[in-house]
Structure 1
Amino acid sequence: MGGLLGWMLAGFGLDGLAQPLPPFRHEPIFGLGPRTIWQGGWGIEVGVDRNRTVRADQWRLEYEVLYGLTVNWATTLVLEQPVDGAPVDVSVRTKYRFFRRDVRGGVYHAAVLGGLVLAEGAGAPEAVLLGLSAAYEGRRWLLFLTGRQRLGQRPVTRYDVALGVRPVRTGYYQPDLVVMAEVNGQLFRDPVDHRMLAAVGLWLTYRNWAFKPGIQWPLYRSRGVEPLRSRWVGSIEVHF
């Protein structure tokens, strides 16, 4: 019976789902980390983003498709679709992990980040994304440090610091929970504005599936023109 199931999965190209896959590499809910995926691996993520402002609640659906070019080099297509009918935002990100050091009970790794933000209708690029991310992922604690720069239209510098903890250490065949606390910064140039936000999120994973809810709220804004409000996100991700 098991052999028949394997042949059926192979016939539909799903035989990888019947075998243990590498465990999820985590990253901040509201930021990016150095994680990649194995060579030839795919990741699909579908999520919802509710950004509360003084004027109105802004809802959008988010879709991401991740592909591993090599074990250290991955690229991601990102689509952000506002629910109010505004044009879809399209961007392409790439990530190259140039450093990895395995230690007892964890791993240190770092990656350079890059990408393009496309104009409406997936037209010519209107902005370039650059960044650097480093992390430690252990069986109990996780730490992420990331800096990103958007050049072109609507330039902004972002920085993220995230600390995660695994309350209960579990195995691959058991549900795994990581609680993430974050500080996210945004530096705008025109007009000059420094925003700092805090966030709490969860990573609930089981084998090659992940559920990631999170909430973000403002801590500080240098320009008091319009107060910031909370932001809620949630997504489901699968690797195969």
Structure 2
Amino acid sequence: MTTVTVWNEYRHERETDVVASVYPDGIHTVIADELADHGFETRTATLDEPEHGLSETVLEETDVLTWWGHDAHEEVSDAVVERVHERVLEGMGLIVLHSGHYSKIFRRLLGTSCSLKWREAAETERLWVVEPSHPIAEGLPEYVELSEAEMYGERFDVPPPETLVFLSWFEGGELFRSGCCYTRGRGRIFYFRPGHETYPIYHQETVQQILANAVAWAAPGDGPVSTFGNSDPIEPIDTTDDRTVH
């Protein structure tokens, strides 16, 4: 069974009444419960736990990590970021949600500022499926309409996605690349834009299906393990040439 660790800052829900009314037990609890209902083994971790809940043991046991952060990106320990980075390169999947685009781990993995335009106006969003054959789009309609959303607009300063699954249109006229797939090392990364804390987006069944599909896609596979460094020949060759400075 795929094991998912659902990470969340868990600050807004404890400090702001409007967020607590939408996610009284935290965004992480809602997502973890949804994924458990889809057959995944889940655990949660939050910013204010020791090591942010992401100890070496926890990460070694994690197949896919989901990340929701917003207001405290710089409080995340560089040592934990390094630990997560290494696990992604080793094959752990990473799903970055909404304002997690500014997280230290996402910016490090992508190597750009990950900046964008934004506006909070509770406007309509249409999340268009632009790659319907992709596993993350399985079982979805042609588009998903969110009646209240925070606008994110281009330019989104990220490398071109290896696959773009979703493209958003907003009531105010903007477009945004809302479902971006990447690989780094052996790890698969998916950025999914919807999920502002004051709107009940993670309670929506179709969004829950997208997250479940994304976890299944990002989970490590059983492909060959890469080897690095000095290597013996596969076929017989003359190895008497010793011209090297290493």
TM-score, normalised relative to structure 1: 0.29
Greater Rg over alpha carbons, structure: 2
Q: Which has a greater percent of helix?
A: 2
Q: Which has the higher contact order (CA 8 A, sep 6+)?
A: 2
